[in-house]
Amino acid sequence: MIQTSKRRAMTAAGGLMLCLLGATVGSTAEIKVLSSVALTSALNQTAPSFEQATGNKLNISYSLIADIRKRMLDGETADVIILSRPVIDELDKQEKFASGSITNIAGTPVALAIRGGTPKPDISTVDALKRTLLAAKSIDYADPAKGGAAGVYFARVVDRLGIADQLKSKIILVPGAQAPVLVAKGDAEIGVAQTSEIVPVAGAEVLGPLPGEFASTTLFTAGIGATTEVPEAAKSLIQFLTGPVARPVFSAKGFQPG
């Protein structure tokens, strides 16, 4: 009965949020969104609900954080931009966002992926992680040179572990968020990616987040483009992404509250 009451309360809250969003936007608009690839599965699932509730249309473009950062520094913009918090803060100093529009959306840990149904190696401690990486036949992650956040971070972890030379022949670098895909296919034994990039991939399984001092959660944050012509519609999208309708979707996709 308690669970039923909770579900009813969440449904009612979600319905209220949708009504409020619908009332916020007087006319329909097309909202251009630039987002990190790490949010692909969550945004793709929540987009239809938002469009149905508001009548607005979303035009979402996904890319690596470093790529979007460069494009924005070169002058590109959008109505809503969703990137890691440090990059959003950097771009905010360049006056790329409307004043007061920056809002945390959700965080996701950097984690290891294995193929579903295979034995789970131990990564519960830093020493165990080191042993597992040394024992692995192959390890793939996003090419740090191309700016994948998990890849950039994991390359630093390998350096700090002092095993970069020993792993060199085992490393497979991918251009974006494909590390879990290679693991699912059996083309790599261990993958490193954002948890949100692993969860949607059929055949891949989250082994766990990086342990101890290497634990890292990427916080994704949204900002409204400084030159947007649809500020209220953009604001309603951010409200939706942090509200009761989208929150369980983000959770199911490997995110934590922002």
**pLDDT per residue over 223-250, tens digit each?**
999 999 999 999 999 999 999 999 999 9
* Locus of tokens 């401690």: 125
Shared-domain flag, residues 253 and 163: no
Residues 204 and 222 in one domain: no
Residues 118 and 99 grouped into a single domain:
no
Cα-trace Rg, the chain:
20
- The mean of the pLDDT values for the chain is 90
Return the pLDDT at 257: 85
Give the C-alpha separation, 240 to 105, whole Å: 10
Residue 23 has pLDDT above 80, yes or no: no
Indicate if 28 and 63 belong to the same structural domain: yes
**45 with 87, same domain?**
yes
- pLDDT per residue over 176-215, tens digit each? 889 999 999 999 999 999 999 999 999 999 999 999 999 9
Residues 208 and 178 in one domain: yes
pLDDT digits (tens, 9 = 90+) for 114-133: 999 999 999 999 999 999 99
Q: What is the pLDDT of residue 148?
A: 82
Cα–Cα dist 235/80, whole Å: 8
Residue 209's domain comprises: 109-214
88 and 133 housed in the same domain:
no
| Number of domains comprising the chain | 2
Q: What is the pLDDT of residues 143-179, one digit of tens each?
A: 998 888 899 999 999 999 999 999 999 999 998 889 9
My answer on whether 208 and 229 are in the same domain is no
Determine the Cα–Cα distance for residues 121 and 123; give it in Å rounded to an integer: 6
Tell me, yes or no, whether 14 and 100 share the same domain.
yes
How many CA atoms lie within 13 Å of 76's alpha carbon, on the beta-carbon side? 12
- Tell me the residue type at 126: V
Q: Is 97 found in the same domain as 117?
A: no
Say if residue 64 is in the same domain as residue 95.
Answer: yes
Contact predicate 82/222, CB 8 Å:
yes
Instruction: State whether 229 and 152 are in the same domain.
Output: no
Determine the pLDDT at residue 26: 52
CA distance 155 to 160: 9
- The neighbour count for residue 220, using CB atoms within 10 Å, is 29
CATH code assigned at 195: 3.40.190.10
Predicted confidence (pLDDT) per residue in 35-88, tens digit: 999 999 999 999 999 999 999 999 999 999 999 999 999 999 999 999 999 999
